[in-house]
Structure 1
Amino acid sequence: MFDLRRSDVVLLQAVADHGSLHAVERDGWMTQSSASRRLVKLERRLRTPLVTRGATGAEPTEAGHALRHVGRRLLASIDFAVATSHHGADTAGRLPVVEFAVGTEWAYGLDEYLAGRFPDMVFDIVPDDSHRIWQRFERYAADAALGWETARRPMTRRGGALIMTIAEEPQQIALPSGHPLAERGILDLRDLTRSEWVAVVGGDSGDDQGWALSRLTPVLSVSFTVRSQGAALDLVRRGYGIALVSPSSLGGSPGPGVVLRPLRQKFVRRLRLAVDPLAIPEPLAEDLGALLRRRYVLRTTAHGAVPAGTDRDPDDARCTDPAAVGETVLPPVLLSELRWSSPDRCGGFEPEHLHLLRVIGRTGSLNRAATALLVTQPALTRRIHRLEASCGLPLVHSTARGTSLSSTARRLLACTGPAERRLDALVSHLRERGSAAVGAGVRPAAEAGPVPSPVSARTAPHRDTAVRPGVRPEAAGR
């Protein structure tokens, strides 16, 4: 496992929050010089820059945001497991938690809708404004995001993310039923320049409408400004003007007194799904995209009914039937550790201690574990005692055949397993990307010295690759 410490996560968090390393020194975690040296060491081990430094301060890179977010998850899972050590639930079948940022309009009932299709995962739905969904995904604060990509505001572009288009939705003009142009099949914006408009401000529809209307000359006459399409349709129905609306927000029908007509100029907004492949494998991401497409069809149809001739998804009946859902026995899931915070209780337990406990559990002896960890047995025993004193929990106990992990230690490893595997996957991804950049002749910004080429590495004199005393287990390629 990668040797990530609490001070590293605090360092990246301070840079993200304050834009400099001074905050770490002010909070008393470490001096600014120590923070800078630690940051350079992390960048060299990952072969990628984590922070961009400039005259105005510092800012985490994409890799820095990713490491900060994944590290916070791992620390939160450790703190959660230690603080709830009295919990008697079995963690053998514990489910991975996926943080899913969605627009407020799509969040209602989505968790129950996904629970029936993905019984092996827990989706932590985080509703937010559409403008901030992609910011959360860009900063690695979410594992997946669902939101609109408009012509005025394209979605985020994050390296390595899976991007899927759920739906493409052209905007339409809402007219009163008695409007002179209501009989036309297709309208042109130039024919609507003299009409009174009802403008929708805020949200995705406001972005589309503002961009569309700004292209017209002369400037359009706006009679009313509202914040929702429902209010705009009510004004259109009463004859106060026309409006640019989105069909999906109307439930499939604009209601009596209003007609919808397509535009010759195509103003299309796209419903996009962005998934982090390190958190959700690609096959599951494809299933998630197909499921959200079906949900979009049901949402845009009047009263949630499937159009005639469309086959209903056989899973829909199973998921909407309470009896059918009740037949599925899900594995036990503890409370989500994503927002757990108790630094004073568990501050002495570092992620590297998980590797220490895992080696002891695998070898079944402190003597053999000390040999594998390249330390002496007395030093390992003292370290275990200090660790037990810091967290107040028994971690190992002696048996007739050697040393065994306590139930608390086994539960700790089970609780932190998903977050630990996520960190290892991210580190491998960053190192592969850094190696690819070196192979392409791009020198990483984090490297202070010359980067050895593959040729020089092959022609270099042979060196003993055995692990030497004093070398950290992680550096030895564990």
Structure 2
Amino acid sequence: MRFDLTDLRLFVHIAESGSITAGARLAHLALPSASARIRGMEEALAVPLLRRGRRGAEPTEAGRALLHHARAIARQVDGMQADLAEFASGLKGRIRLLCNTSAMTEFLPDALAAFLAAHPQLGIDLEERLSRDIVQAVTDGEADIGIVSDAVDASALQTFAFRDDALALVMARSHPLAKQNRNRRSINYADALAHDFIGLAGDSAFQRYAAEQASRLGLRMHCKIRLRSFEAVCRMAASGVGLALMPETAARRNAAADKLLVLKVSDDWAKRKLLVCVRDLAALPRHARELVSALRQATP
């Protein structure tokens, strides 16, 4: 069995893109050469690695096993290159970091700014996803580090405390729900879902999470308008257009005291904590371990 790194990277590209043609392009190989490499791998193993069809190619059971190891090997090679970066002029290390919306908007900007200022030779690929998808990505080796809500099962990973992330509802003080609850500090999510909401635009992980929680209650969140930031959402809420669900930190920061009422959501799922998660801290490249350390030290 003789696989080289090009074979393994090619297979990862094909599996992730769902296409031999796209995988060959990403691996900078001609299509006949890529096809020959995959065929050679299958012949060496005596099992099919890809299931080919009209819609592309997807890994077989054997292919998924190979994909797991190929990603691990690629990650180790990347880690080796990063650890040797200080000895190779111009070589920069990169860290793949996945996080949920709260971490992206509320907590990471300051922490990452300080880390990057202290490590000018490094770069960070930052992407927002749902917490459950982040756990899967870190488990599969698609990301070095994840930041997730403790509401998801991350027991297969190593986790470290990062931040408290309670959720709150924001509304104009003139809103009917605010008038009914002006002397309270918290509210049930179900009680709010009869009213119009203001949500986040685009494919927001936070917005999908909020809609899922409504669905679990057998209810539906109706968004009258979607905006790009929590700051813009708060400004719209102040006009009385609707309610907004968001991290309490964002609500307190953006809420004008004389116009907006902030009520904590009393449901258990809204009393969240954020966790830093990795598959194996000791196996991470040095610069990724240093980022985990910086995030843990930044925990108040």
Deviations along 1:195-221, one digit per CA (max 9) or x if unpaired, are 343334542331232123334566566
Unaligned 5+ residue runs, structure 1?
42-48, 82-89, 295-478
Unaligned 5+ residue runs, structure 2?
none
SS of 1:171 mapped into structure 2: strand
Call closer, same or farther: CA 1:142–1:165 in 2, change over 3 Å: same
SS of 2:33 mapped into structure 1: coil
Take 2:260 and 2:228, find their aligned partners in 1: how far apart are those partners? 19
Aligned residue number for residue 205 of structure 2: 204
Tell me the percent identity: 12
**Retained in 2: the 8 A contact 1:171–1:266?**
no
Take 2:93 and 2:37, find their aligned partners in 1: how far apart are those partners? 35
Call closer, same or farther: CA 1:8–1:265 in 2, change over 3 Å: same
Take 1:217 and 1:7, find their aligned partners in 2: how far apart are those partners? 50
Deviations along 1:5-45, one digit per CA (max 9) or x if unpaired, are 3443344345435658796893426455422245x39xxxx
SS of 1:113 mapped into structure 2: helix
Aligned residue number for residue 168 of structure 2: 172
Which of 288, 293, 299 in structure 2 is aligned with 1:293? 299
Take 1:6 and 1:139, find their aligned partners in 2: how far apart are those partners? 18
Call closer, same or farther: CA 1:27–1:293 in 2, change over 3 Å: farther
SS of 1:164 mapped into structure 2: strand
Call closer, same or farther: CA 1:185–1:251 in 2, change over 3 Å: closer
**Retained in 2: the 8 A contact 1:172–1:262?**
yes
The TM-score with structure 2 as length reference comes to 0.65
SS of 2:187 mapped into structure 1: coil
Deviations along 1:452-478, one digit per CA (max 9) or x if unpaired, are xxxxxxxxxxxxxxxxxxxxxxxxxxx
Pairing of 1:383-394 with structure 2 (within 5 A): none
The structure where strand makes up a greater share of residues is 2
**Retained in 2: the 8 A contact 1:168–1:271?**
yes
Which of 41, 45, 61 in structure 2 is aligned with 1:35? 41
Call closer, same or farther: CA 1:174–1:98 in 2, change over 3 Å: same
Aligned residue number for residue 130 of structure 1: 129
SS of 2:87 mapped into structure 1: coil
Take 2:172 and 2:5, find their aligned partners in 1: how far apart are those partners? 61
User: What amino acid sits opposite 1:143 in the alignment?
Assistant: D
Aligned residue number for residue 229 of structure 1: 230
Q: Answer with 1 or 2: which has the greater Rg.
A: 1
**Retained in 2: the 8 A contact 1:150–1:204?**
no
Q: Once the 2 structures are TM-superposed, how far is the Cα of residue 291 of structure 1 from its aligned partner?
A: 2.4
Call closer, same or farther: CA 1:189–1:62 in 2, change over 3 Å: same
Aligned residue number for residue 265 of structure 1: 267
Take 1:176 and 1:280, find their aligned partners in 2: how far apart are those partners? 48
Take 2:31 and 2:289, find their aligned partners in 1: how far apart are those partners? 46
Take 2:90 and 2:18, find their aligned partners in 1: how far apart are those partners? 37
Aligned residue number for residue 12 of structure 1: 11
Deviations along 1:362-402, one digit per CA (max 9) or x if unpaired, are xxxxxxxxxxxxxxxxxxxxxxxxxxxxxxxxxxxxxxxxx
RMSD, matched Cα: 4.5
User: What amino acid sits opposite 2:95 in the alignment?
Assistant: E
Q: Once the 2 structures are TM-superposed, how far is the Cα of residue 246 of structure 1 from its aligned partner?
A: 1.1
**Retained in 1: the 8 A contact 2:8–2:70?**
no
Call closer, same or farther: CA 1:55–1:270 in 2, change over 3 Å: farther
Take 1:140 and 1:167, find their aligned partners in 2: how far apart are those partners? 24
Aligned residue number for residue 279 of structure 1: 284
The reply on whether 1:26 has 2:25 as its aligned counterpart is no
User: What amino acid sits opposite 1:182 in the alignment?
Assistant: R
Take 1:101 and 1:226, find their aligned partners in 2: how far apart are those partners? 25
The TM-score with structure 1 as length reference comes to 0.44
Q: Once the 2 structures are TM-superposed, how far is the Cα of residue 68 of structure 1 from its aligned partner?
A: 3.3
User: What amino acid sits opposite 1:197 in the alignment?
Assistant: F
Q: What is the total number of aligned residue pairs between the two structures?
A: 265
Take 2:109 and 2:185, find their aligned partners in 1: how far apart are those partners? 35
